[in-house]
Amino acid sequence: MKPTLFVLAAGMGSRYGGLKQLDGIGPHGETIMDYSIYDAIRCGFGKIVFVIRKDFEEQFREKILSKYENHIPVEVVFQSIDKIPAGIPVNPERAKPWGTNHAVLMGKDVIKEPFAVINADDFYGYDTFRSLAEGLKTIEGKTNQYLMVGFRVANTLSESGGVSRGVCATNADGYLETVTERHDIMRREGGKVSFVVDDKQVEIADNTPVSMNVWGFTPDYFAHSERSFEHFLREHGQELKAEFYIPTVVNELIQAGTATCRVLDTTSTWFGVTYAADRPMVVEQFRRLADEGVYPEKMF
């Protein structure tokens, strides 16, 4: 059974200022997603599922899906604020959906095989998809055994400002113990990488594994997520900005002893358009990859 790639493409890039998932950023107008889909196909993924917002479905189908349909089966599911369990009151003034793990839940009716989760607007590199494909084969038919690709934090920074990452702690066997969202991570004066907590800088080593929202799950993860989401809404449903994140659920399962999550190391260098100022640098990096023959002139 070939694994599925589940692409989270419902978000608006608030700092970037537009639908960066649709931005033609490669030398021939490729989107960042094009590189991920190309790498996933050559690493043996068998289906792509996109979660998007209903309001840009037409634009998405015209510009994105039409390219892939002759290369790999594709499906679309929709994330919206009203897709919640019945009978749980939430704040009627809330304007945005409920975060990344809420987006993952949108795939529960169409994904029946091991699957990887990625962001639409991040470049992860071939090695990431190779590791995921190999890792997902090892958990096929199993339950409560999940995967995460751990990028080395120094390979995930932006030159335009601080970034948020899930900083990971692992045990001696390479399994995730905790993943904690940290903010304003950057290389500061003196060359050290640090994040900020309570207005204080905390240094971390360059090779510290961080989550870039690259996960590997089996379908049983959906049932865990549904239970966790109900609990989340009962506690936070009246809040306007609280979000239901993937690391929240994974942490809960690990701490309860319900599931394990193996961290796959990668030397791949992440890049993406976190800020509008990142765009020229990312354009140049894709041009270099094309010049080096890493990606063909025409992927689709």
- The predicted-structure confidence for 96-135, as pLDDT tens digits, reads as follows 889 999 999 999 999 999 999 999 888 999 999 999 999 9
User: Considering the chain, what percentage of its residues have pLDDT values greater than 70?
Assistant: 96
> Is the distance from CB of 104 to CB of 225 less than 8 angstroms?
yes
User: In a 3-state reduction of DSSP, which class is residue 246?
Assistant: helix
> Is the distance from CB of 44 to CB of 133 less than 8 angstroms?
yes
User: Is the confidence at residue 242, as pLDDT, over 80?
Assistant: yes
Region 277-299: what's the mean pLDDT?
A: 90
User: Is the confidence at residue 298, as pLDDT, over 60?
Assistant: yes
User: Considering the chain, what percentage of its residues have pLDDT values greater than 90?
Assistant: 68
Torsion from C-alpha of 127, 132, 134, 135, nearest 10 degrees: 130
List, in order of start, the domains of the chain with CATH numbers: 4-291 (3.90.550.10)
Count of other CB atoms within 10 angstroms of residue 82: 6
> Is the distance from CB of 50 to CB of 74 less than 8 angstroms?
yes
User: In a 3-state reduction of DSSP, which class is residue 103?
Assistant: helix
Rounded to whole angstroms, the Cα distance separating 134 from 43 reads 9
Reported as a single tens digit per residue, the pLDDT across 59-109 is 788 878 888 988 999 999 999 998 999 989 999 999 888 999 999 999 999
pLDDT given for residue 19 in this prediction:
52
E-strand stretches of the chain: 4-8, 47-52, 74-78, 115-119, 122-123, 145-152, 163-170, 176-187, 193-197, 200-204, 209-217, 260-266, 271-272
